Chain A
């Protein structure tokens, strides 16, 4: 008879990173259940699943948050927690958490309507960036160089379905040197950092950005660990950006961190999946 699983990995799309995590768990002889979110449901009241901890790798941010809430209700430890997933899934909530922790971020505003966003952009100054509250991989993130283009972009925003899409997050455009910095934090410890270079002004690896090892400095470590703590994330991909003077800002924190590009830059010398699993096991003790 097989041993009951103590850890579940929740996914609906098994990415290469998720596969590495499953392999790392198996190498450590951890009894693991791979749960497909697409067929999962949980009662409001009921018995806890056999596993005590869920490593939440669900790719849909809304689904990940609800699943985490449902499982925490049943007494399952969430890594990341529901609160962390929900905070990271919403750019405004992330900004609030980062600012509460005293972290430097680009000047940011929240507009209650697309029309109001034009006024907010005028206050922020051009060029500026318009971002959807929810989303990742740089989708629908737009740089607007002037009011004319901003007006057009906001007309498209107004035509998007769903009331949440009409709440507009606007931000100062940081004149970064063609790259940003991704820092991977696991259990409060920085595993390393990479520069992400791209011809596209959005430097997401999912958009084809190239990664290169970034030397760790005390400032990078301080910003990244403080940001991960601010959103309550055990596992975090913290994005930093440098301005023309070299000053660093925290852009966002990703709770479902993808690390293939990071590992590539480190030539496989940092075993992110292994470090994630080692951290998860500390949460079980």
Chain B
């Protein structure tokens, strides 16, 4: 399956299908529409998701 063909990936928290409007990029952040957990794209071929890292003290602009 190519990246272009895969339009959803499974949420690792609640197993819901998370849709993509366009092919996702590595490290991109998405939110699960079901459980609202913030997720990170950890592989793109195939697209797989993992919980996004927690915000660290020095994160920001």
The residues of A with any CB-CB pair to B shorter than 8 Å are: 11-15, 19, 22, 34, 36, 59-63, 89, 134-137, 139, 206, 237, 254-258
Contacts and interface: CB of A to CB of B under 8 A. Distances in A.
A256 B61 contact: yes
Contact of B27 (A12, A60, A237): A12
Contact of B60 (A12, A14, A36, A206): A206
A137 B61 contact: yes
A134 B28 CA distance: 25
B15 interface: no
A34 B60 CA distance: 19
B26 interface: yes
Q: Which 7 A-B pairs have the closest CB atoms?
A: A136-B60, A254-B61, A14-B27, A61-B58, A14-B28, A137-B60, A256-B61
B34 to A, nearest CB: 21
A260 to B, nearest CB: 11
Given A13-B40, A13-B53, A134 B25 contact: no
Contacts of B40: 13
Contacts, number: 58
Nearest to A15: B29
Contacts of A258: 61
Interface of B: 25-29, 40-41, 52-53, 56-61
Given A15-B29, A34-B25, A34-B26, A135 B60 contact: yes
A59 B60 CA distance: 6
Contacts of B52: 13
A134 B58 contact: yes
B39 to A, nearest CB: 12
28 contacts: A11-B27, A12-B27, A13-B29, A13-B52, A13-B53, A13-B59, A14-B27, A14-B41, A15-B29, A19-B28, A22-B25, A34-B27, A36-B27, A59-B59, A60-B56, A60-B58, A61-B59, A61-B60, A89-B58, A134-B58, A135-B57, A135-B60, A136-B61, A137-B60, A137-B61, A139-B57, A237-B61, A256-B60
Contacts of A63: 58
Contacts of B57: 134-135, 139
A136 B59 CA distance: 6
B61 A14 contact: no
Contacts of A62: 58
